[in-house]
Structure formats: C-alpha cells, structure tokens
Amino acid sequence: MDEEGEAASAEDAKRFLAVPGTLYVVATPLGNLRDLTLRALDILGSVDVIAAEDTRVTVVLLRHFGIGAHPISVHEHNEAARADEIVRDLRAGRRVALVSDAGTPAISDPGARVVRAVRAAGFPVVPIPGPCAAIAAVSVAGLVANRLLFLGFLPAAAKARRELLASVAREPCALVIYEAPHRVRATAAELGAALGSGRSLVVAREITKKFETITQMTLGDAPDWFAADPNRERGEFVLLIDAPAQSPIVSLETPLDFRRLLAALAAELPPARAARVAAAATGLPRDMLYAEALAQKVPRR
C-alpha cells in the first residue's frame, strides 16, 4: 500500500471515533449481541461517558466487546438530574453515549429528556442507528397498511387506554404497540373489544432471541392462542394490528346499488327517513338521496 493509501486507511479508521462535546444516541442489540453495528462499537469504545438505562444490562454488552467503561444510570427517576450532568460533561469537552437496555433509546425508553437538554444547551446530538423492536417487527409482519401509528406502551389507567384505543380505532393505518409479559394476554383481549375481533394481529415475541416467535391471527383468536401455551406470555412483545378493512365505497359511478337500496327503503319509509338511513349505509349525501327518493315517488307517465 502506498503512502496515500495508508493515509486514507488511517483517516477511515478515525472517521467513527467520538468527537468531544458530542452526545451519541446509540442503538444496541435487542437480544442477539451480534446485531451491534460496527459504528456503534467504534463510538462506545471511544466515548468518555456511557449513560445507560440499566448499568447491569449494559455492562454485559460492554464486557462482551472488551469495552472497559463503567456506565452511569439514566432512568425515568433520575433522568432530569442526569441530563444536567451530561450537559456539564459536554461543556467540559467529554464525549457521551446514551444507550437503553435494548434497541434505540428514547423510543418508549428514557432518553428524550437528555436529548432535549443537550440540544437546548447547543451541543450536537448524533444518532448511531441500529436495532429497533418496532421496525424489526413491522418488517416481518407483512402488513397491508402502508402507514403506521406507533403507540408504544398503552396507558396504565383503564379509562385512558379505552379512550386512546377509541380515538385510533378507525384510523386507516396499522397500530404498533409494545407490551410486557404480565399484561399481554389482557391487552390482546382489550384490543379485540376496542378495535374489532376481525382485525389482523401479528404477535412479535422475543425478537432476535432464542425463542423468537412471529405469529399472525385475528384479535378474536388471540386470547385462545395465548391460553394454549403459558410460554407464549413470556418475553417482550410488539403487537401489530393491521389497518381496518375498508368498506366498499358506493358512488354515483355505480348507481344501481344505491338506487335499489333507496327504492326498498322508500317503499317502507317516508322519503326523509329513507334518505337518512341510506346516507348512513352508503356515505352518500343525504340531500342528494332525499331528492332521489322524492323522484322515485313521482308517478311515471
């Protein structure tokens, strides 16, 4: 290799080392340690501070890759105080990585408050992308919907859960939900009641781990599926509910259907009531249907 090639190679080797005064948001494996990216490995090996959701979990990852750093904890109970500490570290020129127990930080995990504080203080925040349970599950679900609504963990309070599910029940998109093992069976039943038993459900369990399971069923079948094997309630879950089936749209391009319906209703009901019922059934304008109902009452010569 010539001198120019050696210089380029050396420059490439430095490219992904952490830069002083920068926060790196680093995605870590969901379960399989081989999923850690090379760039994430570079960053974790070159930062001064690693802020972790649970230091006991992160130490296992670091030791596996020969990284001797001692992480500090950043969880929901101390995140505000840690955010201030991290800003002070960055002012001192330190390099900081933020990780969660598994996957991408700040997605239904601590981290967003730290990122906001760092941004507000004027320091750069750099994403080091990698594993994300929601995206991994979507990629193998075969969803019909081409839009997603990420709900994360549902509210703990029953009333808040019901209100949230009612607000999204008819949205023309797939719903992506995280759930813990001790709640997953009850949550599946609640989803069926709120969204309809016929909606398609994909259960993604223990993604990338030894007992990974990806199973499709209807929401109505979910309680029996979980009940059939206690092991199905173990692990971490992503629940994906596909978009609701779209009702066929009746339009003026197909007049026979709505006119036949309106004629049948008008034979039994006054025109105004017939138009109101037909409007509810077809989605067509009630005034237009009322005019048509009146026209059907006019004797033909």
- pLDDT tens-digit readout, 126-182: 999 999 999 999 999 999 999 999 999 999 999 999 999 999 998 999 999 999 999
C-alpha 102/C-alpha 48 separation (Å) is 21
- Gyration radius of the chain's alpha carbons: 28
Task: Give how many domains the chain has, as a whole number.
Answer: 3
Give yes or no: residues 223 and 212 share one domain: yes
Beta bridge partners of 174: 148
Residue 293: which domain range? 255-297
Q: Is 9 within a domain?
A: no
**Residue 124, amino acid:** P
In this structure, the answer to whether residues 140 and 197 fall within a common structural domain is yes
Q: Is the domain of 106 the same as that of 143? A: no
CATH number at residue 124: 3.40.1010.10
Last residue of a domain, one of 194, 215, 241: 241
| Same-domain check for residues 119 and 145 | no
Same domain, yes or no: 39 and 141: no
Rounded Cα distance between 88 and 189, Å, is 47
Clarify whether residues 282 and 205 are in a common domain: no
For residue 56, give every residue at least 6 positions away whose Cβ sits within 8 Å of its Cβ, in sequence order, or none.
none
Interhelix angle 286-297/255-266, rounded to 10 degrees, is 60
Q: What is the pTM of this model?
A: 0.76
The H or E element that residue 29 is part of is none
Residues 290 and 232 reside in one and the same domain: no
What angle (nearest 5°) sits at the alpha carbon of residue 231, between those of residues 226 and 236? 85
**Tokens linked to 94:** 């330190």
pLDDT bracket for residue 266 (50, 70, 90):
confident
Q: What are the E-state strand segments in 3-85?
A: 23-26, 49-52, 72-73
Cα 183 to Cα 75: distance, rounded to the nearest angstrom: 22
| Residue closest to 139 by CA, chosen among 28, 222, 214 | 214
211 and 147 within one domain: yes
**Residue 203 in domain:** yes
Q: Is residue 246 part of a domain?
A: no
Residue 225 falls within a domain, yes or no? Answer: yes
Residue 9: pLDDT band (50, 70, 90) is: low
Three-state DSSP class for residue 280:
helix
The reply to whether 20 and 123 lie within a common domain is: yes
